[in-house]
Amino acid sequence: MSDKDLIESGDMKIGWVRSHMPVLSIIRENFEREQPLKGHKIAMALHVEAKTAALVEALALGGAEVAITGCNPLSTQDDVSVALNTRDNIKCYAKYDCCSDEYYEAINKVLDMKPDITIDDGADLIFKLHTERTDLLSGLLGGCEETTTGIHRLKAMENDGALKMPVVAVNDAMTKFLFDNRYGTGQSSWDGIMRTTNLLVAGKTVVIGGYGWCGKGASLRASGLGADVIVTEIDPIRALEARMDGHRVMSMTEAAKYGDIFVTTTGNVDILSKKHFEVMKDGAILANSGHFNVEINLEELTAMASSVRTVRKNIKEYNVAGKRINVLADGRLVNLAAGDGHPAEVMDMSFANQALCVKYIAETKLENGVHPVPHDLDMYVAELKLKSMGIEIDKLEPHQTEYMEGWECGT
């Protein structure tokens, strides 16, 4: 595609999602009028696709200078990246399928702007700032983190006394994880799997690794599509929840024998490894929706395979002792590496949180460490979202408040 065609395609994608992100649009209008980010420099490492572009635009219209790159080599959409580079005060360095050197070079280029605020999805910028670019730490007001795995990394740094900047845990806002991780990952993982394989889900046995928010969403939607769902867990409470939600629960060693499609959503390593590949059925399909490509052990699978070939875009077939094991998108998060990511309406809430938290960081002197999203911001996003959906809810009457807060009335 020529640059002109890429820009046209990227602009169309951004325009479409923007019109389905009403909460972010309100924040964007307020930002444009009030310029709360004037003079700030924002460095971002996020999946560079259309919804992210809508967030980047809102930040730049709010007065910020923004530099962005990807947070995964396979999730960048080049048309969106090129289109972003036509906007004022925005520089985008992301490229689809770049090699590891190019990926980290782009992260360095973003940091070259000497940001005072960062936005990460997986903590790559913050990790770089604490290892090779420590000279920039003193200029930072704070950062935002988008995903569960990033928060785990940051809390581990905090516990080790290694975190030298404030970070807001955007993932942990209720208007983020309850919707994005659950309904977003639920829908978009199946969108990625279905468009990549063009196969039926109904009647298949689907194994979901992990019953956290992403796993709950992926299981719910698999059931809705007519699959027989098996869940694997290490947490007894979540395992019970899965069982009582109607799914079968067993160890992965057992489930590996039955699965037609596997989806890992744990944020942990080696959920599918040699001992599982050995017992899998011919034709099994493996996909990952967790943040890093560590959940399916491809090193072990490659070592076991007599041949590996691409059988369709984003599907690699590993021949293991005459059995075909199909891996989608090289084990990278399937909804973004083989799809368009979460639906726009869900990212509307996640990115509304991001935009409001960036403003919060710009206006507040935060101590080093991981901070929650202020409850009033979370509530504000929920209220705006309900309003945009035309939904009105009840308000507590004064006597109801009195009843709820009192202890004398027991009858």
Q: Is 116 in the site for ligand NAI (CB under 6 A)?
A: no
Q: Which residues contact 217 (CB under 8 A, 6 or more apart)?
A: 181, 182, 183, 184, 185, 186, 187, 189
Task: Count residues near ligand NAI (CB under 6 A).
Answer: 30
Is 290 known as a binding-site position?
yes
> Can you name the residues that pair with 296 across neighbouring β-strands?
272
In the list 73, 186, 209, 339, the residue contacting ligand NAI (rule: CB under 6 A) is 209
Helices 213-224 and 236-244, axial angle in degrees (round to 10): 20
Q: Is 25 in the site for ligand NAI (CB under 6 A)?
A: no
Number of Cβ within 10 Å of residue 269's Cβ equals: 12
Is 180 known as a binding-site position?
yes
* Residue number, 178 or 225, with CB nearest to ligand NAI: 178
Is 331 known as a binding-site position?
no
Check: CB of residue 9 under 8 Å from CB of residue 82. Answer: no
* Residue number, 118 or 265, with CB nearest to ligand NAI: 265
Is 215 known as a binding-site position?
yes
Is 16 known as a binding-site position?
no
Look at the block and give the residue holding tokens 């369709």: 312
Go through the chain and tell me how many residues it has. 411
Print the binding letters for residues 324-363 with ligand NAI: x by CB under 6 A, - otherwise: ---------x-xx---------------------------
Q: Tell me how far CA of residue 205 lies from CA of 91, 306, 322, 324, in angstroms.
A: 45, 26, 21, 17
Tokens of 129: 């700032």
- Could you tell me the smallest distance in angstroms from the CB atom of residue 149 to ligand NAI? 4
Is 313 known as a binding-site position?
no
Amino acid identity for residue 386 in this structure:
L
| CA pseudo-torsion sign 231, 237, 242, 244 | positive
- Could you tell me the smallest distance in angstroms from the CB atom of residue 144 to ligand NAI? 14
Tokens of 367: 């101590």
Instruction: State how far the Cα of 116 lies from the Cα of 113, in Å rounded to an integer.
Output: 9
* Residue number, 115 or 192, with CB nearest to ligand NAI: 192
Comparing CA positions, the residue from 280, 269, 148 lying closest to residue 207 is: 280
Return left, alpha or beta for 406; rule: phi > 0 is left, psi -120 to 50 is alpha, else beta: beta
> Can you name the residues that pair with 317 across neighbouring β-strands?
309, 326
> Can you name the residues that pair with 264 across neighbouring β-strands?
209, 288
Print the binding letters for residues 255-294 with ligand NAI: x by CB under 6 A, - otherwise: ----------xxxx--x-----------------xxx---
- Which span (96-104, 153-161, 174-182, 370-378) binds ligand NAI, by CB under 6 A? 174-182
What's the start-to-end Cα distance of the chain, in Å? 72
Amino acid identity for residue 141 in this structure:
L
Is 147 known as a binding-site position?
yes
Q: Tell me how far CA of residue 7 lies from CA of 81, 92, 103, 337, 351, in angstroms.
A: 9, 13, 22, 21, 23
- Could you tell me the smallest distance in angstroms from the CB atom of residue 200 to ligand NAI? 22
- Which span (107-115, 207-215, 273-281, 315-323) binds ligand NAI, by CB under 6 A? 207-215
Number of Cβ within 10 Å of residue 144's Cβ equals: 28
Is 149 known as a binding-site position?
yes
Is 212 known as a binding-site position?
yes
Shortest-Cβ-distance residue relative to ligand NAI: 212
In the list 103, 179, 190, 213, the residue contacting ligand NAI (rule: CB under 6 A) is 213
Check: CB of residue 152 under 8 Å from CB of residue 129. Answer: no
- Residue 389 burial class via C-beta count within 10 angstroms: exposed 0-12, middle 13-18, buried 19 and up: exposed
In the list 65, 145, 233, 378, the residue contacting ligand NAI (rule: CB under 6 A) is 233
In the list 62, 143, 212, 331, the residue contacting ligand NAI (rule: CB under 6 A) is 212
Is 85 known as a binding-site position?
no
In the list 76, 149, 175, 297, the residue contacting ligand NAI (rule: CB under 6 A) is 149
Q: Is 66 in the site for ligand NAI (CB under 6 A)?
A: no
- Could you tell me the smallest distance in angstroms from the CB atom of residue 53 to ligand NAI? 16
- Binding positions for substrate: 121, 146, 176, 180
- Binding positions: 121, 146-149, 176, 180-181, 210-217, 233, 268, 289-291, 335, 342
- Binding positions for NAD(+): 147-149, 181, 210-217, 233, 268, 289-291, 335, 342
Given the rule CB under 6 A, which residues bind ligand NAI? 147-149, 177, 180-181, 185, 209-215, 232-235, 238, 265-268, 271, 289-291, 333, 335-336
